Amino acid sequence: MDSRVHVEFTPSFLGCPALEVMRDQMASRIRELGAEPEVEVVLDDSWSTDRITPEGREKLRESGFAPPAPREAGGSQLVQLQSKAFKCPYCGSTETRLENIFGPTPCRSLRYCASCRQPFEQFKTI
């Protein structure tokens, strides 16, 4: 039995400051399962938020993050700037507004829900 596990992982942003942390956590978990990890970070631009599965979007919502909205073909306006494009992860309302396009990381923005009055982070659509 081969005790090596090879993982190819494509980050959402090529310059993501969490790349090493994510790579190290994957390697650590693979070691915990009894295999030798080989984690390869694929540095191309093939990843987009459209690749997040419905289950992944639900897990983001359950964690208090608004999943990214689908990309619109030929759209001229940034999705992040559109009103009612994002549902509040707490109450489901679309009565949200962009507070700051620059969130705690390059892949997130800060939004505010007018219905339940909760601030929340929203993953940017890329």
The string of pLDDT tens digits covering residues 27-39 is 999 999 999 999 9
Considering the domain architecture, whether residues 25 and 80 belong to the same structural domain is answered as no
* Residue range(s) defining the domain that contains residue 8: 4-41
| pLDDT beyond 80 at 9 | yes
Considering the domain architecture, whether residues 24 and 66 belong to the same structural domain is answered as no
Strand partners, 39: 7
Considering the domain architecture, whether residues 119 and 60 belong to the same structural domain is answered as yes
Considering the domain architecture, whether residues 31 and 65 belong to the same structural domain is answered as no
Measure the CA–CA gap between 80 and 69, rounded to whole angstroms.
8
- What's the average model confidence in pLDDT over 91-117? 89
Q: Flag whether 47 is in a domain.
A: no
- Provide the domain count of the chain: 2
Instruction: Say if pTM beats, i.e. exceeds, 0.75.
Output: no
Q: Flag whether 102 is in a domain.
A: yes
Q: Flag whether 48 is in a domain.
A: no
Considering the domain architecture, whether residues 21 and 74 belong to the same structural domain is answered as no
